[in-house]
Amino acid sequence: MTKVPTFEELLSSARHSAVHLEMRDTYMESDPSYVAWKAGVRNSAEDNDPELRPWLKWVRDATDRGVSVRRARVFSVPESDYVKFEHHVSEANIKAGEAIRWLPRRSATDIAFPGNDFWVFDNELVLVLHFDGNGECAPGEWIELTTDPVVRDLCMGSFEAVWNRATPHAEYRPV
């Protein structure tokens, strides 16, 4: 069996781009940062410190190498609590160098989407993410890697369609 690279390894090997499309209204509600946010904790070190939130360091390292890291979110309105939480913690992602845009689902009716969230690295390698009905990582193999050009083209086409009509993070405020 081939070892699947970690996300850190995938991002650190990106040469020019990493794009991510999120299409769920909730993810991993068991996440301690989300649980704390729901309890009223805002701007905790766990949300903003690259030593406590490694994602921020990985993004900074990638963007410092010249890699464009972009994330687009398609979501329902009014927003779920989880989407509001994502908006809140996204400011640290922006400071780390990630570009984020927001598109209400009602503005995406004419966009063809793959069935799952994904990352595409360097317009070549697709990382498909599988979640269960509650937004937790699906049991078993929750990630899938492919270089299938049909999958890649669908993912990149849907990402760019969303990106082109979505609102930049600095301009979007949850309802």
Looking at the domain assignment, is residue 2 inside a domain? no
pLDDT at 141: 77
Looking at the domain assignment, is residue 1 inside a domain? no
pLDDT at 88: 93
pTM score of the predicted model: 0.93
Between strands 143-146 and 167-168, the pairing is unpaired
Distance CA 80, CA 86 (A): 10
Residues of the domain holding 132: 7-171
Looking at the domain assignment, is residue 91 inside a domain? yes
The answer to whether 164 touches 25, Cβ cutoff 8 Å, is: no
Looking at the domain assignment, is residue 138 inside a domain? yes
| CATH number reported for the structural domain that contains residue 165 in this entry | 3.30.870
Looking at the domain assignment, is residue 73 inside a domain? yes
Looking at the domain assignment, is residue 27 inside a domain? yes
Please tell me whether residue 47 adopts helix, strand or coil conformation.
Answer: helix
Distance CA 91, CA 173 (A): 12
Q: Give the mean pLDDT of the chain.
A: 93
pLDDT at 53: 83
pLDDT tens digit sequence for 99-127: 999 999 999 999 999 999 999 999 999 99
Closest CA to 19 of 133, 130, 150, 163: 163
pLDDT at 46: 74
- Written in H, E and C, the secondary structure of 15-29 is CCEEEEEECCCCCCC
pLDDT tens digit sequence for 69-107: 999 999 999 999 999 999 999 999 999 999 999 999 999
Based on the structure, what is the number of domains in the chain? 1
DSSP bridge pairs for 102: 73, 167
Please tell me whether residue 65 adopts helix, strand or coil conformation.
Answer: coil
For residues 118 and 48, which has the higher predicted lDDT (pLDDT)?
A: 118
Cβ contacts of 37-42, under 8 Å, gap ≥ 24: 37/85, 37/88, 37/89, 38/81, 38/85, 42/88
For the cut 70, the answer to whether the pLDDT of residue 2 exceeds it is: no
